Copies of this chain bind each other. A is one copy, B any other.
Amino acid sequence: MPSGQPSPPTTGGPPTSATANAVLGLLSFGRELSGYDLKKWADHSLQLFFWSPAMSQIYTELQRLESLGLVTSRLEEKADARPRRLYAITDDGRTWLSHWLASEPVDLPMLKNAMVLRVWLGDLMDPDTLTAMVREHRDRLQARLERTREDRRTITGWASMAHAEVVIRWAERYYAAEVENSDLLLEDLAALETPG
């Protein structure tokens, strides 16, 4: 493996795709993970504030990152199960990721909220259909909030996960505020239907 600062690889496409960095980020916590582990963990972490790549995207990215020397893998053989491939980040991968984190501009959050889009165009919708959509949306945010609370209880106090814990606390407040905001939105919509 080449040592020192890797120059930005120029073959196989740019490694700065969001999926590549997501995979490297998940591996940077230091454990060996299978593609399945990566997907599962992405669903409980990245999903809350970024996005969880599809399983097929993860496998494609792992192969590409390995060919670039940013990730390494080994086959784990077990007597009682099918062998599985485990991936780990290399020193070059870690250096690359640190470089990307410090140099890439931090844009304002990109938010695409299809529910709010519908409220905005509410004149074109049946009021009851709209209210039902907002209620369903609110309940899904509530479900996500509850799962986030459970996940926080799981990782609280793991020293190696200090930054992940700070983020999950952020996510818990974020989804709690989203639920509250949806409730107030429902009140505003009800008031539109009964003008005083």
**Per-position binary interface string of chain A over residues 177-196, scored 1 when its CB falls under 8 Å from any chain B CB and 0 otherwise:** 11001001100110010000
Contact A109 B102 (CB under 8 A): no
- Prevailing SS type, chain A contact patch: helix
Known interface pairs A119-B163, A170-B185. Does A125 touch B110 (Cβ–Cβ under 8 Å)?
Answer: no
**Total interface residues in chain A, CB < 8 Å:** 61
> Which chain A residues numbered 118 to 177 have a C-beta less than 8 Å away from chain B?
118-126, 129, 133, 136-137, 140-141, 144, 162-164, 166-167, 169-171, 173-174, 177
Distance of A126 from chain B, by nearest CB (Å): 8
> Which chain A residues numbered 92 to 127 have a C-beta less than 8 Å away from chain B?
94, 97-98, 101-102, 104, 106-126
What separation, in Å, do the CA atoms of A115 and B170 have in the docked complex?
A: 12
